Amino acid sequence: MIVLPICSFGQTSKKTSESNQISKKSNQTFEEYCLVNAVSYITIVPEKAKSFKVSGELQSLENSKKSSYVDYGVHLKENETQYFKLIGSEKILAIQSLNALRLNYSNTKK
């Protein structure tokens, strides 16, 4: 009689899936990383709103596909995170600086 541990298979599949995801991330170019990670949507409480330098207004693409800075027509700046008021939304679009993106990208490679 042969007994196969079923739990082991599930854990092995999970570990294989996790290592495939890690491998994909480590093979990701810096440009691909920026397209996926440069954009975030934040909500700012009114008391903090004055401390943000808003670069302008953009039409919100938040409810459509996962949008990148390219979809918004914004260029990344070297040392400045950019904040945009989204028309039709209470949220602010934050686009990270190239310096911050480089630092985060290098941390994913470790």
Q: What is the pLDDT of residue 30?
A: 94
**pLDDT, tens digit (0-9, with 9 covering 90-100), for 93-107:** 999 999 999 999 999
Three-state secondary-structure class, residue 46: helix
**For 50-73, b where at least 16 C-beta lie within 10 A, e where not — what string?**
eeeeebeebebbeeeeebbbeebe
Q: What is the mean pLDDT of the chain?
A: 78
Three-state secondary structure call for residue 94 = strand
Nearest to 102 by CA among 72, 83, 79, 82: 79
Q: Domain locations in the chain?
A: 29-108
Residue 52: per-residue pLDDT? 76
pLDDT, tens only, 75-95:
999 999 999 998 888 888 999
Residue-wise pLDDT for 31-40, tens only, equals 999 999 999 9
Count helices and strands (H / E) in the chain: 4, 4
